Amino acid sequence: MPDRLRNRRRHQRVFVLAGMYNVAWGVLAVTHPQWLWQVAGMPVANYPQIFATLGMVIGLYGVVYFEIARRPEDGFVLAAVGLLGKVLGPIGLGYLIVSGQWPPATVVICLTNDLIWWVPFSRYLKDAWPRFAASLRHGPPIPTPRAIALKETHVV
């Protein structure tokens, strides 16, 4: 099993950025739950608390992304769940737009929340797959002394 993840630092930077973005987006959605409706020119939502709750969930994804950045060798499943959400979100929004329930201007939510992250998350999953697949075959990885030393001395 590989000790070190390929492109480790690049992936760490990506997930730190994703974490910061998600926490900031979550705070915005909680403190200004009508922003999307205002930007899209829609009538304000009757129950903005639902959007604020979505903001809390997205903010918590930020914490998950920080954990992937901290331990990228072990973040495959968390990142896969994150990418799945970033694929399903646009599918749901596409349905709302095609069915006429939401205006096309709401696509802004998917550009920054989802689409821009598809490539970097996919690259991470590609690089993390060999270690994850090996862990499925052989059980949890046993860290080598080199891997332990790298984790103890690594600063993001």
Per-residue pLDDT of the chain (156 residues; tens, 9 = 90+): 556 789 999 999 999 999 999 999 999 999 999 999 999 999 999 999 999 999 999 999 999 999 999 999 999 999 999 999 999 999 999 999 999 999 999 998 899 999 999 999 999 999 999 999 988 887 665 666 777 777 665 555
DSSP state letters, 72-103? GGG-HHHHHHHHHHHHHHHHHHHHHHHTTSS-
Give pTM, 2 decimals.
0.83
Dihedral in degrees, nearest 10, Cα atoms 10, 16, 21, 24 = -170
